[in-house]
Every structure is written in structure tokens, then in C-alpha cells.
Amino acid sequence: MRCAVLGDPITHSLSPALHRAGYAAAGLTGWSYDAVRVPAGGVRGFVEALDATWRGLSVTAPLKREVLVLATEVTERARLAGAANTLVIGPEGRLADNTDLPGAVAAVRERYAGPVTSATVLGAGATAASTGLALVELGARSVTLLARSPERAAETAAVIAAHPSAPRVRVGSLALDPVVGEVVVSTVPAQAQTEDLVARCGAAAVVFEALYAPWPTPLSRSAADRALVGGLDLLVHQAALQFTMFTGLPAPLEQMRAAGEQALAERSAR
């Protein structure tokens, strides 16, 4: 059976290392997992050309919203997020799901057992939407989105506000506004993490850095005395859910995590 991760760019992806390690640990010798560059607008052509040997796709930027329309069934969490990072392919059709949302919940709870009543998300793209929803699932009654262009954050704000628990969502300026709540999630590039922004994140009990490369980021370096959730944590937990959806088997989480850590270490040594 064949699986792959799609996106553009895609050469940086750790997903092949994680999934291949999972296949090896589970003894799935007939399974393969590759990284395929598919630019915006190209996912329909790619998916519709697949044959019966394909079982699943991981989907990353800029395709997470585009892939939804290709599914014959969409899970409630993918519908809620307005984006899918997973497409399960079978004879009965294509199932679109979003494992970023439960993966983010699991990643936070692995590092932090305290309350989440409010939180701030830096950025306003698809990852901001799914992690914002995860914060609501963890108990946040209010979520603040800080964006470089606040006027572009309306769609993400609407996605989070549509959660059945009806959280309050406020949009502010990444350059100016305060960071509030127990958790701060960064979905912005490392170069956008200015000294001032990092300082404004100093009161959060949990720093959730959605990036895994480059590592460490300015924000992650500031979290030495606080709970730190990294992009690899998120990647491993969402990939483990995908692994089970694709194969029907429990995910070998620790072997997948170890493969991700090794791949990152090899990159940093180059």
C-alpha cells in the first residue's frame, strides 16, 4: 500500500521519517510513504490520478482547505476547522479528516496538566485555526488571535468562534497587542518572533511552538522554565492518528518520535 505527504514546499517534511518508522515497527513491509510536491491548485489532479494501491495522504500547506472538496465524506472536526490534513482512500470513497486538532490536544496534555481558560494564537492560517480549536477543546473560553494583518484573520476567527462551546474570539495586532492566557501558540515564522513579541509571551504557562525547523526558535528558547510543546510533539501525535487511520493498527508512538528526533539531529549536524 502507498501513502504520501503532499504540499509545497515539501522537502523539509519529517512525515516520511515518522510514518516509515511506524511501518517498520509494525512489520508492514509492503507499505511505502513518500513526500510529493504538489503546488496550490494541483491536488485535484494528483488525487484523481491515484490507483487502488493508494491508502492515505497527509496534507500540508497550501492544500489543507483545497483538499476538502475532493472528499466523499468529511469528519466533523475537519468541517469545523474548514481544513483537512488527512485523506483516507478506500474503495468506498475518500474520507477527509483533521488530525491536527486532536494531535494538538494530545501534545499539550503530554506536557501540561493545568487549566486552560484563555489562550493566544500568533498567526491566522490553517494551523492557527486547528490549534485554536484545540485550545477550546482543552477548555479555553476565549482565544486571542494576533496577526501581522488582522484584517486577514477574519476567516480563522470565524472558524474558532463556530466551535459548539461558542468561545469569545478577539483579533489583534501581532506587533502591538498583549498576549493573554495560560497558553500561547506560535504559528508564525521564526524571523517574525521579535524580541518584543517574545517578551510579551513571557507570562504564559505553556509555550506551544508549532514549528519544528528551524529549532530552537526565539520563542522556544524563552521557555526554559515553562512547559514547552514543540512542533515535533504536534507532528508525532497527529501522524500517529493518521497511521492508525491508514493501517488500522495502533501507532508505535515512541518509535515514530525517535525517528523524528533522529532526523532533526541529522539535519542540524549538516
Q: Are residues 111 and 220 in the same domain?
A: yes
The one catalytic residue among 19, 64, 163, 200: 64
Q: What is the pLDDT of residue 43?
A: 96
CA distance 259 to 270: 17
Q: Are residues 201 and 113 in the same domain?
A: yes
CATH of the domain at 160: 3.40.50.720
- Please write the tens of the pLDDT for every residue from 1-52: 999 999 999 998 999 999 999 999 999 999 999 999 999 999 999 999 999 9
Q: Are residues 244 and 209 in the same domain?
A: no
On whether the CB atoms of residues 260 and 237 are closer than 8 A, the answer is no
Structural domains in the chain (count): 2
Q: Are residues 63 and 8 in the same domain?
A: yes
Q: Are residues 13 and 35 in the same domain?
A: yes
Q: Are residues 132 and 208 in the same domain?
A: yes
Q: What is the pLDDT of residue 214?
A: 86
Q: Specify whether 104 is catalytic.
A: no
CA distance 60 to 190: 18
Q: Give the residue from 174, 244, 186, 176 showing the smallest Cα distance to 211.
A: 186
- When pLDDT is cut at 50, 70 and 90, the band that residue 61 belongs to is confident
On whether the CB atoms of residues 185 and 205 are closer than 8 A, the answer is no
Q: Are residues 122 and 203 in the same domain?
A: yes
Q: Are residues 124 and 216 in the same domain?
A: yes
Q: What is the pLDDT of residue 125?
A: 87
Above 80 in pLDDT, residue 270?
Answer: no
Q: Indicate left, alpha or beta for 41 from its phi (over 0: left) and psi (-120 to 50: alpha).
A: left
- How far CA 174 is from CA of 1, 10, 12, 121, 145, in Å, comes to 44, 27, 26, 10, 8
What residues does 146 pair with on adjacent strands? 122, 172
Share of the chain above pLDDT 90, in %: 90
Q: Are residues 10 and 94 in the same domain?
A: yes
On whether the CB atoms of residues 43 and 59 are closer than 8 A, the answer is yes
Residue 58: which residues within 8 A CB-CB, separation 6 or more? Answer: 3, 4, 5, 6, 15, 19, 85, 86, 239, 242
CATH of the domain at 42: 3.40.50.10860
Q: What is the pLDDT of residue 243?
A: 98
- When pLDDT is cut at 50, 70 and 90, the band that residue 167 belongs to is very high
Above 80 in pLDDT, residue 91?
Answer: yes
Average confidence (pLDDT) over 206-215: 92
On whether the CB atoms of residues 237 and 230 are closer than 8 A, the answer is no
Q: What is the 3-state secondary structure (H, E, C) of 32-59?
A: EEEEEECCCCCHHHHHHCCCCCEEEEEE
What is the chain's percent helix, strand, coil content, to nearest 5?
40, 20, 35
Q: What is the pLDDT of residue 199?
A: 97
Strand 118-122, strand 183-186: pairing = parallel
Q: Are residues 60 and 140 in the same domain?
A: no
Q: Give the residue from 198, 153, 194 showing the smallest Cα distance to 173.
A: 153
Which one-letter DSSP state was computed for residue 258? Answer: H
Q: Are residues 214 and 243 in the same domain?
A: no
Above 80 in pLDDT, residue 144?
Answer: yes
Domain that holds residue 207: 102-232
Q: Are residues 91 and 124 in the same domain?
A: no
CA distance 74 to 68: 7
**pLDDT mean across residues, the chain:** 95
